[in-house]
């Protein structure tokens, strides 16, 4: 499974569990407008770490954070290669 479909699937699952209404998930969509709150992001990052063994957020520190859905996918793509 590609990072893209894995991440999008997990976003939808987390949003459903937390009763969040998602915006249409395009690469340009700012994460802050996606409908996920910071707790949802935290859960998303933890779930992705469980499936990939990697947490690029912990590795990056706070130096650079992805701003859009596209950034987020690229963020994982970088560490998953």
Contact residues: other proteins, CB under 8 A: 17-18, 38-39, 41-43, 45-47, 50, 55, 57-58
CB of residue 74 to other proteins, shortest distance in Å: 17
CB of residue 19 to other proteins, shortest distance in Å: 8
Q: With respect to other proteins, which residue has the nearer C-beta, 57 or 76?
A: 57
Q: With respect to other proteins, which residue has the nearer C-beta, 16 or 23?
A: 16
Rounded CA gap, 72 and 75, in Å?
A: 5
Torsion angle in degrees (nearest 10) through CA of 78, 48, 41, 13: 130
CB of residue 58 to other proteins, shortest distance in Å: 5
Which 3 state secondary structure label does DSSP give 64?
Answer: coil
Rounded CA gap, 79 and 74, in Å?
A: 9
């Amino acid at each position: 499974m590609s990072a893209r479909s894995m991440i999008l699937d997990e976003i939808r699952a987390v949003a459903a569990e937390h009763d969040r209404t998602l915006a249409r998930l395009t690469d340009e969509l700012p994460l802050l407008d996606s409908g996920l709150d910071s707790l949802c992001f935290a859960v998303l990052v933890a779930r992705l770490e469980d499936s990939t063994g990697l947490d690029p957020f912990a590795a990056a520190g706070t130096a650079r954070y992805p701003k859009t859905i596209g950034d987020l996918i690229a963020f994982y793509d970088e560490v998953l290669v």
